[in-house]
Each structure stands twice: as structure tokens, then as C-alpha cells.
């Protein structure tokens, strides 16, 4: 069982989720001592307000917590994610399952997350008995989000390409999947020249991690995640401020591993493949340079307009490899462009696809799972902006415009056979804490994608 959840609810303390419309009925069901305490402390059923209510002997009898009323525009279904920081140590249950029991329970679990690798203590040991109707897979989903957050939060000295591979291996072993890895100069022999070019300057060997699971005859779904374990920007060096958070530049890899954990844990009827180009974009005498031209696995030559646009380069080779199997669904994601953050902010990743049905379904699940995404266009008239005078394509545009769209258009050149392709430009970080989303590494888009895949292959 995932650490934030408990199985035994016999002694669990009830939590009443209330709003102005339901508070009078709940109040009438409380003990007189609890009612008196709530009145004495001035509790109001406003979103985020709480009170710990005693019984006649002064022991904790219940908690009340204010939530948004149903139907309110902009209501936050993750508000119960604040509870783990408000409640004393113990086991709790919702006194009455809320209408969105799954999201409320998930928010509680995600709000209980702490990154404790380097600090001992601080665990509050606050647990929730999952309510009926929240889903048997809920602990696995929460565990997967924890996995992604842990990977992104781990500093790069402890999370390089080899360490990322070890995490993938442990996940493969847990679920009976196979895993192979192509490392260092073997990337050239395997015709993955862009992955090699980006990662060769580091003392930590680049690699292509390849996980496979499921019935080979089932529909093929392939996930490709950007695994740049640290990004200096290369010779187009980032500024100090821009480099500070670059331990999170493997957020795409962390997220596809989390999604893979959900898929394999649920046992979906599909053939899963996960490809992670894991590199460190470092600076040395062997670093790739601006205006260098490299071949790609697909055969297209790529001019390097900027060495800080390295994520799309490693994804290009991995996408080509994935596309050779002509999967039914090919999904790639990575922490790719600042332009996406400028356009939509840190909490709302854009996605791109030419499959309208896929886009509509993903948007529906993103809303239902409180895992927000927003579709942006693959605007092909902008293809001319990544033309090169000396190669087949440039890895950046000729101006500062439409950076996220241009990245998607660049990657689209390496996909031809997949039935449907989906590209996500995620941030993988929560800059300031929100209910259910502590400050730090974040697992964006995985829950929405998981719900989509459950609908299709469950």
C-alpha cells in the first residue's frame, strides 16, 4: 500500500468535507462538545478552513475542512491536498465519500509527499483510508507520481544517465518487463548519432534505455521521454539563473517511467515500449558546437542552430527508432521550451497532435483528472522557420517566435509510420506549493494519459 494510504479504517478519524450548503447538516450530526469547539474557534465552512474537533474527553473526534461548493466555476478538486499538513499524526477517513472521491483521496496522498532523501525525520505519518469508489489502482497512481517527483527532485550528482537507467531496470524487474541499454560509442554503431553528439562531452556516458512489456501481439503504445540529466546549455551556455533548475531536465523521462508504472501495474492490454535517451549536456573539448551538422537516425541532416536546444535532438533519434515499429500510439514528452512557459505558465503544459479525436479525448481526461493540458497547433506554415541553408533542417527557428510550436514541428519530421503521434512540452516543476502539489518536481500529464489509455485498452 502506498505510504499515504491505510487499509485498516476501524479506528480512523472522520474528516467532514463541508461547504456553506452542507455545513448545517454536518453540524447537526456532531457531538455537543465538537459543536461548541467549532463555534468557539470561529470555524467557517470556507475553502481551505479547518477545525480539529474534540469529544467530551478532549480527544480528537473529527476534523472539518472547507471545500468549494459543487458547480462553482474554478473550484479546486485538489483542496483536500492541504489536509496532510494540517492534521496530527494518525489514520483518517472521509466521513462521507465526496462526489469526486478519487480526486479527493488522490489529492490527500499527493499532498502528503515529502522529498526526504537527504533529510531525516519530518514525516507526519498522516494516512487516509481510501473511500469506496476511488479505484483499486489509486495507490499505484500515487506511487507513480511519487516516483516521478523523487526522480526530478534528486540532484544531478545522484541522478545521471547510469542512475536513471538503474531506476528503469528496477521498474522493469518489478513488472516483469525487459530492458536493454545502448551506451557510449555503441550509440554510433546502433545509428543513434544525435543522442551520442549531445551526450559525448560528459564524463557520464550517454545511453538509450529501452524497456518493453506486454503481449507483443497487443496494440503497440510507445512512450519516449527526454532524459537530459543536467543541461548546461552546452557551448551556448545558460545563465546562472537559467541553469539553476536544470536537474529537472530529465522530467520527461521521469514522467514516462511514472506512466509506465501505472500501465504495467494496471495490466492494460497493450504492448508497451519506453525509450529514454539519457544524457548530460556538458561543456568540454568534445562538446558539439553551433553550426555543426550531424546526421540523424532517420537520415535527415541537422544543423545545430543552438546547443541549448538539445532535448529535441535526442528525442529525434528516439522517435525515429520508435516509429520504425509503426506503433498505434506514439507519445513523447520533455521539458523542452521556455516558450511554452511564457505562453501557458508552469501549470498548464501544451500538447500537439494532428489527431483531433485523440486531442479531444486527452483534453476530456485532463479535465476529469485535474491534470491540466492545453492543445496548441502544429502550424505547418511555420516549417519554413526551421529550414537550413546547409542541412535538411535546423534545430531552432530563425527568430524568437513560436518556440514551442517549432520544437513540435521539428520532432514531427521524425515521425511517419505511427498511427497517432502526441507531443507534450512539460515543465515538471511546481514553483510554489499548491494543494496536492508541493513545491518541487511534478508529474505532469501522466495521469491524464493513463486515464486515456485505460479507456482505450482497459
Of the residues 247, 312, 437, 447, only one is catalytic, namely 312
Tell me 446's DSSP state.
Answer: H
103 Cβ contact list (under 8 Å, min separation 6)? 77, 78, 369, 370
Residue of 108, 177, 95, 116 lying closest to 139 (CA atoms): 108
The count of other CB atoms within 10 Å of the CB of residue 304 is 26
Contact 152, 441 (CB under 8 A): yes
3-state secondary structure of 268: coil
3-state secondary structure of 350: strand
Query: What's the grid cell of residue 47?
Result: 475553502
154 Cβ contact list (under 8 Å, min separation 6)? 117, 163, 247
Of the residues 238, 364, 375, 434, only one is catalytic, namely 238
Q: Examine the residue annotation and report whether 312 is marked as an active-site residue of this protein.
A: yes
DSSP β-ladder status, 60-66 and 50-54: antiparallel
DSSP β-ladder status, 178-183 and 220-225: unpaired
Q: Examine the residue annotation and report whether 238 is marked as an active-site residue of this protein.
A: yes
3-state secondary structure of 178: strand
What are the backbone dihedrals phi and psi of residue 34, each rounded to the nearest 5 degrees, phi first?
-70, -40
Q: Find cell 508541493 and name the residue.
A: 438
3-state secondary structure of 152: helix
CA-to-CA separations, 246 to 42, 278, 306, in angstroms, rounded: 45, 14, 17
What single string gives the DSSP state of each residue in 101-127?
Answer: HHHHHHHHHHHT----SSS------EE
Residues with catalytic function: 238, 312
Amino acid at each position: 500500500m502506498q505510504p499515504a494510504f491505510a487499509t485498516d479504517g476501524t479506528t480512523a478519524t472522520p474528516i467532514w468535507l463541508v461547504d456553506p450548503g452542507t455545513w448545517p447538516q454536518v453540524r447537526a450530526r456532531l457531538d455537543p462538545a465538537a459543536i461548541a469547539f467549532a463555534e468557539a474557534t470561529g470555524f467557517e465552512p470556507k475553502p481551505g478552513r479547518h477545525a480539529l474537533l474534540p469529544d467530551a474527553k478532549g480527544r480528537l473526534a473529527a476534523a472539518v475542512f472547507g471545500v468549494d461548493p459543487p458547480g462553482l466555476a474554478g473550484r479546486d478538486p485538489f483542496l483536500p491536498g492541504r489536509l496532510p499538513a494540517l492534521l496530527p499524526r494518525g489514520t483518517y477517513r472521509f466521513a462521507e465519500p465526496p462526489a469526486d472521491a478519487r480526486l479527493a483521496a488522490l489529492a490527500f496522498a499527493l499532498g502528503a509527499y515529502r522529498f526526504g532523501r537527504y533529510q531525516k525525520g519530518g514525516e507526519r505519518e498522516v494516512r487516509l483510508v481510501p473511500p469506496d469508489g476511488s479505484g483499486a489502482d489509486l495507490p499505484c497512481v500515487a506511487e507513480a507520481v511519487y516516483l516521478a517527483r523523487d526522480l526530478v527532485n534528486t540532484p544531478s550528482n545522484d541522478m545521471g544517465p547510469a542512475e536513471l537507467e538503474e531506476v528503469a531496470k528496477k521498474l522493469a524487474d518489478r513488472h516483469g518487463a525487459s530492458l536493454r541499454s545502448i551506451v557510449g560509442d555503441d550509440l554510433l554503431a546502433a545509428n543513434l548519432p544525435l543522442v551520442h553528439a549531445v551526450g559525448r562531452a560528459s564524463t557520464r556516458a550517454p545511453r538509450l534505455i529501452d524497456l518493453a512489456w506486454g503481449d507483443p501481439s497487443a496494440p503497440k503504445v510507445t512512450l519516449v521521454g527526454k532524459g537530459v540529466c543536467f543541461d548546461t546549455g552546452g557551448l551556448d551556455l545558460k545563465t546562472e539563473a537559467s541553469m539553476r533548475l536544470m536537474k529537472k531536465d530529465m522530467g520527461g523521462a521521469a514522467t514516462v517511467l511514472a506512466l509506465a508504472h501505472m500501465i504495467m501495474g494496471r495490466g492494460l492490454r497493450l504492448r508497451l515500449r519506453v525509450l529514454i535517451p539519457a544524457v548530460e549536456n556538458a561543456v568540454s573539448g568534445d562538446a558539439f558546437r553551433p553550426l555543426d551538422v550531424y546526421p540523424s537516425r532517420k537520415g535527415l541532416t541537422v544543423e545545430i542552430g543552438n546547443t541549448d536546444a538539445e532535448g529535441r535532438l535526442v528525442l529525434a533519434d528516439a522517435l525515429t527508432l520508435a516509429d520504425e515499429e509503426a506503433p498505434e500510439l506514439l507519445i513523447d514528452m520533455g521539458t523542452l521550451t521556455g516558450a511554452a512557459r511564457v505562453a501557458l505558465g508552469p501549470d498548464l503544459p501544451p500538447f500537439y497532435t494532428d489527431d483531433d479525436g485523440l486531442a479531444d479525448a486527452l483534453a476530456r481526461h485532463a479535465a476529469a483528472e485535474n491534470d491540466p493540458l492545453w492543445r496548441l497547433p502544429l502550424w505547418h506554415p511555420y516549417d519554413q522557420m526551421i529550414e537550413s541553408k546547409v542541412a535538411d533542417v535546423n534545430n531552432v527557428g530563425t527568430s524568437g517566435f513560436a518556440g514551442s510550436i517549432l520544437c513540435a514541428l521539428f520532432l514531427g519530421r521524425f515521425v511517419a509510420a505511427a498511427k497517432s503521434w502526441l507531443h507534450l512540452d512539460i515543465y515538471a516543476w511546481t514553483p510554489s506549493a499548491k494543494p496536492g502539489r508541493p513545491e518541487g518536481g511534478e508529474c505532469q500529464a501522466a495521469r491524464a494519459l493513463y486515464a486515456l489509455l485505460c479507456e482505450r485498452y482497459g
